Every structure is written in C-alpha cells, then in structure tokens.
Structure 1
Amino acid sequence: MSKIDSHYDLIRSEFNNQEHRAYIGGFWEELGTLQLSVLKQHGLQPHHNLLDIGCGSLRGGVKFIDYLAEFHYFGLDINPHLIQKGRALELTTELAAKVSNDNFTSNATFTADFDIDQFDFGIAFSLFTHLPAERIRECLIQLRPKFNHGKFLATVFIVEPEEYPQKVTQKLGIVTKPDEDPYHYTLEMLENLARETGWSFTWIGDFNHPRNQKMVMFS
C-alpha cells in the first residue's frame, strides 16, 4: 500500500465531537477568518459562487457560508464524515439554512459535480501541502472547465530549488519533504503544473499563515 493510499484510508475514519477540529490542524478561528479575508482581498463578494476544495469540517466554510448569499458556498472533501461533523457541530441554525445537501459532495477525484456551470472563486486551503504533484495535476485538470473566468487560490509550502531535494523545517517545526506528506514545491514546479493543465499562475506569497504556507492563484 502506498503512503497516499494509507493517508486516504486514515481520513475515511470516524471522528468524535472533539477530533474534527484538531484533525485538520487546529487554529480553527484564526485560519477560518484568514481564508475569508484573503478571498475578499481578491474580490470575493456575497453573490459569487465559491468552491471549497478540501473543505473538511468547515473551518473556512463557517466563515464563507456566513458571508455569501444562501446556496452560494460549495464544499468538496474526500472524507464525508468531516463534512457531516462540520455541518452538525459548527453551523448555527441560521447558517445551516444557507446550504443544503446539494452544496456538498465527497470524492477522491476532485470532481465538482454540482449543478453549476462556473465558479467565481475556489480555494484549496492546506490541501496541496498534503498532495504529491500528480494529485495536484489531477485536481487542476478536473477543475479547469469550472473556472473559465474564475480565480482558484491554493496554499503551498514553497522552497528554493536548491532546498527542494532536502527536508525543510518550516514554522512551528513542520518538516516538509519533496516526496512525502507534508510536501513542498518550488515556484517553477507549480508554474509548470499550471501551464500544462491550462491555467495561468500568479504568486501571491505570504499572507500570515502561522505555519509559513504561501498563497498562489490559478486563473
């Protein structure tokens, strides 16, 4: 069994009422607020349709659902249990009324099979940091038809080319690697992935992530 298959088996497990926040890395309030802030800086408005790839237990989703018009938030995650816990435990009655079952889907292929042709914005927050290059490529290929005029932002660990083959210690002691989760990449690698899958690439850079993740944009 590969490391990535083992990782998928792990994240299909059940979660108790405490683990759903800790499992996705903590900093619940800080990072949820940060996600909304960054997207608003890049033009997100309440009437836009937003796709949250790797939405998990709705750390960002809570903030997005509150900000966006009803039924304009869409969440996709490999683990349906995380989505269920987020909806059950994190959404107030008012927020729960702004989404339905049709606003969520769970699969391992990044298939955004929602009844909507185009998204205005997308975000993959702390997702690409857990994916090897071939899985990022798969994600970009799958999402490209849904973003003809939209912006897709993602967080990544970035290293210099000479650092890439090594293990690199990021903030808070996170050790990133070229071939094992958590992954790091060079800017050139991400630019190439964007070009090869039909996207343009924009470096956003630092946005005060506590673990030193950087922001990039595909459009």
Structure 2
Amino acid sequence: MTTKNRANPLYQIQYAVRNPGKVAPYARRLARDLVLRVRARDHVSYYRAVMKSDTARSAEAAVGSKSHDRWLALGTMQFDYLVEHGLKPTDRMLEIGCGNLRAGRLFIDYLDAGNYYGIDISPDILIAAQQTLATQGLQDKLPHLTPTRDLTFAFLPDAHFTVAHAHSVFSHSPLHVIEECFAHIGRVLAPGGFFDFTFDRTEGREHQVLHEDFYYRTETLVKLAERYGLRGQFMDDWETRPHGQSKIRITHG
C-alpha cells in the first residue's frame, strides 16, 4: 500500500536521489515505454510487447520475480493462501495472467487432472509456461494454457469455474481492462465460486507510472464490481503476507 503519488515528478526526483542505482533501469523502461506507446494500438498490444521484451531476458523476472528463490516463494504464497481458504482438488480453476506458472505449477499439481485453465495475453510467457510444465513433470495433469486478447472469456463455458485467480494482473491494467473483466467474470463463475485478484493499493491519489504500473483505491474497484452485480471483499488476512500488493475477493452479489 502507498500514500505517495509515484508518478509525481518531485517524488521521482527524490526517489532517484535516494536510489541512484535505479535511475538507469528506469530510464530504459521510460525509453521502451515511449517506443511501445507509438507502436501499440491498445493496452493489450502494448503490454504484450512489454512481456515479449521482458521474457526474452528472463521469464521469471518477466512475472515480477527478482530471483529464482523469490519466484518459488511467491508461487508458494499464492498457493498456500488459496488452500487455507478452502481450495480443493475438485475445484475448477481459471488463472488470469498465468505467466510461466509461478503459482500455476502448484495449482496444476494439486488439482484433479484437467481442472486448471490458464490464460495470458503473452504468447511468449505461455511458451515459458510449457517449459515449466515439462520441467515439473506435470504433463499428465492436462492443464489448459490459452493465449487471449481480452478478458471477455467468450470462449469459456457459463458457470464453470469455482475459483478464478489473477495475481499481479490488475497492477498492470488500466481501469477499462479491469471493468471488462468484471463485466464478464460473473458469467463463467459457478454458483458459490469466487474470484481473487491482487492490485497495487493507494490511499492517496490514483495514478499510473508509465503504462506499466497502476495504483487504485480499494473503494474504486469494489464499486466497479458492484456495477456488474458482484460483491467485493477486501482480504485483510492477505495483508500479513510478505507481498506489496493487496487482495480483493469477488463473488456473485
């Protein structure tokens, strides 16, 4: 959670003075942002290009893990949380933004065969996900890995998934992309099912840094979900985990 506006030039100058080693990496992100914004016709095209660039260097870093140990730890954190909240092998799970299966490898291993469905906008990261499957020996669990251009879920069946999950997806999404998800997630959720997502929470002014990082107030996302007949619950117990993002659970209203 933050109260600071990280897009504010004064904040960025002060941050650069305190963290001189991060100036060059940010300058590279800024240059890439300017190029991709010119080339991309929409946010999905833009962020697909970001993921292509990041995955070419490291698939684990592309999903936000600074080391392999951190990749393992973040996946375990997500898995443990859902198991503690009642995830069962018989659940049918949709993971939105499955990446290279940082947590997905654990969900796939735990769930009954065929019960995991992962989607991502990045074909490059899904190829890395296939490599994770092979490395972990999970081929017999028959997971579904599908590229997508939007969050309308038009190719998925009604009332099918008992659990939906999106980790570090809405932290990179403008509000219209989140709204598209809310407008359609209720159709694919089974009665009694839920949708957990993380987001970068601010208690100050909502803002974005480049086109990659978006900061929202909890009430903004809860009210947006209500517009589509969904109920949003802030998950206080997630705040105790060693992770910088917050979590909301969406259920049928």
Q: TM-score, normalised by structure 1?
A: 0.83
Pairing 1:64–2:79 present: no
Point out where structure 2 has 5 or more consecutive residues left out of the alignment.
1-37
Distance 2:101 2:222 in 1: 29
Superposed displacement of residue 35, structure 1: 0.9
Q: 2:139 aligns with which of 92, 96, 100?
A: 96
The question of whether the paired residues in 1 share the 8 Å contact of 2:133 and 2:139 is answered with: no
The correspondence of residues 174-193 of structure 1 with structure 2, limited to 5 A, is: 177=208, 180-193=211-224
Tell me, which stretches of 5 or more residues in structure 1 are unaligned? 167-176
Residues 159-202 of structure 1, C-alpha deviations (whole Å, 9 max, x = no match): 21xx1146xxxxxxxxxx38843111111101111101221111
Structure of greater Rg:
2
Following TM superposition, where does structure 1 have runs of at least 4 consecutive aligned residues deviating by more than 6 angstroms?
none
After superposition, the CA RMSD in angstroms is 2.3
Do residues 9 (structure 1) and 49 (structure 2) align? Answer: yes
Structure 2 length-normalised TM: 0.73
User: Is 2:98 aligned against 1:42?
Assistant: no
Residue identity opposite 1:196 in structure 2? R
1:132 corresponds in structure 2 to 174
Give the alignment partner of residue 79 of structure 1, picking from 112, 122, 128.
122
Q: Do 2:156 and 2:188's aligned partners in 1 also have CA atoms closer than 8 Å?
A: no
Name the structure where helix makes up a greater proportion of residues. 2
Q: Aligned equivalents of 1:190 and 1:20: distance in 2?
A: 29
Match of 1:208 among 231, 238, 241: 241
Q: Deviations over 1:90-124 (max 9, x none)?
A: 54464121025xx1211121243246741010110
C-alpha distance in 1, partners of 2:105/2:230? 28
Check conservation: 2:54, 2:61, Cα contact below 8 A: no
> Deviation string for 1:146-166 (max 9, x for gaps)?
114210000011121xx1146
Distance 1:20 1:31 in 2: 14
Contact 2:47/2:212 (<8 A) preserved: no
What residue number does 1:107 align with?
Answer: 148
Cα distance change, pair 129–14 in 1 and its aligned pair in 2 (3 A)? closer
1:23 counterpart residue number: 62
Count the aligned residue pairs.
Answer: 203
